[in-house]
Structure 1
Amino acid sequence: MSIWAQEIDLALCKKLDLGVGEKGTLMTKLGIEITEIGDDYLVACLPVSNELYNPMGIVHGGVYVALAETVASYAANFVVDTSKYYCVGQEINANHLKASRTGTLKAITKPVHLGGRSSVWEIKIYNSAGDLCCISRMTAAVVEKRSKGTGL
Structure 2
Amino acid sequence: MSEIPGLDGTLGVEHVEAGPDKVVARFTIGERHLQPFGIPHGGVYCAVHESTASVAGQIWLGSKGIVVGSNNSTDFIRQAKLGDTITVTATPIHRGRSQQLWHLDSTDQDGRLIAQGQVRLANLDKQIPPELIEQFTGAYDQR
Normalising by the smaller structure, the TM-score range is 0.7 to 0.9
- Could you give the per-residue CA deviations for residues 58-95 of structure 1, whole angstroms, max 9, x where no partner exists? 1100001111111100000001132x301011100000
Q: How many residues are aligned here? A: 131
CA RMSD across the alignment:
2.0
Percent identical across equivalent pairs?
A: 26
1:31 positional shift: 0.5
**Corresponding letter in the other structure for 1:143:** L
Structure 1 residue aligned with 2:70: 90
- The CA distance in 2 between the partners of 1:146 and 1:43, in whole Å, is 26
Equivalent residues of 1:46, 1:67 under 8 A apart: no
1:60 aligns with 2:41: yes
CA distance in 2, matches of 1:142, 1:130: 32
Q: Do residues 110 (structure 1) and 96 (structure 2) align? A: no
Matched, 1:69 2:50: yes
1:74-127 C-alpha deviation (Å, 9 max, x unpaired):
000001132x30101110000000011122110001000000000000000001
TM-score by length of 2: 0.83
Distance 1:58-1:147 versus aligned 2 partners, 3 A rule: closer
Q: Which has the higher contact order (CA 8 A, sep 6+)?
A: 2
> Can you give the 5+ residue segments of structure 2 that lack an aligned partner in the other structure?
134-143
| Structure with more of its chain in helix, by fraction | 2
CA distance in 2, matches of 1:146, 1:100: 39
Structure 1 unaligned residues grouped into runs of 5+? 1-13, 19-24
Q: Which residue of structure 2 lines up, in the alignment, with residue 6 of structure 1?
A: none
**Is 1:37 matched up with 2:46?**
no
SS of aligned partner of 2:24: strand
Structure 1 CA distance for aligned equivalents of residues 128 and 45 of structure 2: 33
User: For 1:27, what is the secondary structure of its paired residue?
Assistant: helix
